[in-house]
Amino acid sequence: MAVSEHAFIIQRQGIECQYNFKNICKNIDRVYKTCYNEHVFEKRFDDCLWAAPNFSHIALYIKRRGECVMDLLICGDLCPTDESKECFENEDARGAFGSVIEEFKKSDTVIVNLECAVTEHKQGIRKYGPCLKGPKGTVKTLKNAGVDTCMLSNNHIFDFGKKGFYDTLKILDENKMRYTGVGENYEKSRNDLMLKDGDFSVSVINVCEHEYSYATCNRVGTRPFDEFQTMEDIRKAKALSDYVIVIYHGGKEFCRYPSPRLMKACREMALCGADAVFCQHSHIIGCYEKFNNAHILYGQGNFHFIESTHDESFLEGLMVRLTVDKNKSDIEFIPVAANGKGIDLAGSERKNKILNEFKTRNEYIKSGEWEKHWHDFCMENAERYKSVLCDHKIDDCMDSFQLFAHYLDCEAHTDVWREIFKTWNHTNEM
């Protein structure tokens, strides 16, 4: 029997008898059990069953599920902090995630960027910036909440060296948590995560900019973004799957707009076959555009990264819900905010504020005004960048040289250099 016929029978019999309707739905559920998670079906079924005078929209939902729809919830940066680690130590999922758990329950797959090592190892690496780690209960807390997939290609997963990294993989494996974005060397790091729902498949490519963790031909590490190889990887993924998502850990921290280079890179990824590109790492919510029919988000903001030393923009983020099938994809932005030791869905007033400001920045992408905001951000930080140049010349200490090397190696910092010294290089414009 065709899916549409099933849907018709469900609708007709459901109207005649509400009790039998649920039993019929369960029969259909068994027919299409490979298409979706049981708890997702049950939750959505119950919500609809008692809310509507008829069942036409439920019939349509069943029909759509029969076409292999995948519901993915993609979350930003997560790291237990001094303010929040108690919840993770105690494996208190409700305390850590509050009402956000209800959004997890609606999803087939829940993805977070695990922006730390999960280890008890105490010796952090020598680097510019903090070394981040979470308690042993971090992964179990995520699992209890409903998270099933972790992105690891970021600039903090190796903060406690190889020991901390392998400790993290071990505990992820013990909890049967999927992960991607790392490998024993560069080639092995390039393995995509494949998500399947019946005959429908989604490839997830997780890459990061060149900071402290990236893999090389003979070094374990994260999957680095490569302006040539990554494009080829996207084309290959598109040939093997129905939908391709790129999760890109990069962009300038605390800047709400992309650099010209980052915009070009994300758009090129879309032209090569990426259906969605989500930039993380900036720690604040950026802006969004649709390009070549692909979703591009320049800055997802933090998901669960609570530090009282930062302003409220650091304590906000967007979860992204993607509902995809072979024909189309729908996107929804769901604001979250810190709430004491954990996070919650943003309240109505804060939600409206976040989304309205987000919408304004999105219009700046269309109008081209984003370029001015990017330039202004770089100029506001120019003195700090110039001091790095001066300090490394006069100070013969390793930390000074290390910072200078870091600023040269990382794409986001290089983008700022180029903007600050643009007039120096473009002498024909003077």
Q: Which domains are assigned to the chain? A: 3-66 (no CATH), 70-372 (3.60.21.10), 381-429 (no CATH)
Question: Residue 274 corresponds to which tokens in the numbers above?
Answer: 């990426």
What whole-number distance in Å separates Cα of residue 358 and Cα of residue 348? 15
Q: What is the pLDDT of residue 396?
A: 53
Is residue 415 within 8 A of residue 259, CB to CB? The reply is yes
Coil/strand/helix, residue 285: strand
What whole-number distance in Å separates Cα of residue 270 and Cα of residue 286? 18
What whole-number distance in Å separates Cα of residue 243 and Cα of residue 249? 20
Is residue 297 within 8 A of residue 290, CB to CB? The reply is no
Q: What is the pLDDT of residue 8?
A: 39
Amino acid at 333: F
What whole-number distance in Å separates Cα of residue 183 and Cα of residue 43? 37
Q: What is the pLDDT of residue 428?
A: 56
* pTM across the whole model: 0.84
What whole-number distance in Å separates Cα of residue 198 and Cα of residue 36? 9
Question: Residue 208 corresponds to which tokens in the numbers above?
Answer: 């990061």
What whole-number distance in Å separates Cα of residue 64 and Cα of residue 197? 13
First to last CA, the chain: 73
Q: Which residues of the chain are under the pLDDT cut of 50?
A: 1-22, 24, 26-27, 30-65, 394-395, 430
Strands 294-300 and 178-180: unpaired
Biggest CA–CA distance in the chain, Å, is: 84
Distances (CA, A) of 425 to 20, 380, 386, 418, 430: 74, 20, 16, 9, 10
- Burial (CB < 10 A; 0-12, 13-18, 19+), residue 368, is exposed
Question: Residue 193 corresponds to which tokens in the numbers above?
Answer: 């995560």
Q: Which residues of 330-345 are buried (b: 16+ CB within 10 A; e: fewer)?
A: eeebbbbbbbebbbbb
E strand or H helix at 331: strand 329-339
Q: Write the pLDDT tens digit of every residue in 19-72.
A: 344 454 544 554 444 344 444 444 444 444 444 444 444 444 444 445 678 999
CB within 8 A of 231, min separation 6: which ones?
268, 269, 272
Q: What is the pLDDT of residue 138?
A: 98
Cα-to-chain-centroid distance, residue 378: 25
Sign of the C-alpha dihedral, residues 159, 163, 167, 170? positive
Is residue 181 within 8 A of residue 206, CB to CB? The reply is yes
Of 266, 263, 261, 283, the closest CA to residue 156 belongs to 283
What whole-number distance in Å separates Cα of residue 77 and Cα of residue 279? 10
CB atoms within 10 A of CB 363: 11
